[in-house]
Homo-oligomer: A and B are copies of this chain.
Amino acid sequence: MNAQPDAPRTPRDPEKTRDRILDAAQALILEAGFSATTVDAVVGRAGITKGAFFHHFASKAALAHAVIERFAEWDRKMLEQMVVRAERIASDPLQQLLTLLALYEEVFETQGDPSSGCLFASYIYEKKLFGPETIDVLRGSVREWRRVMRHRLELVLVKYKARREVDLDTLADLFYSLTEGAYVMTKTLDDRRLLARQTRELRNYFELLFEPR
């Protein structure tokens, strides 16, 4: 739910032009929201012609959908890779979960500009502007995070017990909600250290919550 993809690009390749449009749109949406992001501004920022824009996207709504779909896909792949890395680094399920969080903290500490925020939150606060299939991308992302984190927690609970009565979905949602909220604070205060510091507290919580069976 976090950073932005960036890739080197050459101007003439159609695939690269599409990415350039999506990059420009994404940056503008994170600055002022989707409603305020005009096609003219996207075209200007991407350094392309309006003709090239409409060659790739039939409408602003089509652009909105493509931007969030790319972001969600990138976010999903990153989570998948982080899980693979955490599983390689640690063997104990609790340590794997803590490692997964720690790997994200590394990204939060080093990524370009956390104060640009998260595209999911940007979209959901203009919810009424988007069609149901675009909102479904946001829902799919929340559910995928819940599914993955819940699975990690189920593995933990085979070897550990929780010191408090817990609801697994609620625990699974914590990382998503904490990062989304930390992005809101980061954007407000322009404090780049805030994001990693907030998620560090979730590691503390999980460490304190679980004890060996």
Mark A residues whose CB is within 8 Å of B. Answer: 30-36, 117, 120-122, 124-129, 135, 138-139, 142, 163-164, 166-167, 170-171, 173-174, 176-182, 184-185, 187-189, 194, 197-198, 200-201, 204-205, 207-209
Contact = CB atoms under 8 A, between A and B. Distances in A.
| Copies in the assembly, this chain | 2
A201 B174 contact: yes
A197 B176 contact: no
Q: Chain A interface secondary structure, helix, strand, loop or mixed?
A: helix
B171 A201 contact: yes
Contact of A197 (B127, B170, B178, B184): B170
Contacts of A173: 182, 185, 194, 197-198
A36 B208 contact: no
Q: Which of A31, A125, A126, A180 has most B Cβ within 10 Å?
A: A125
A124 B177 contact: no
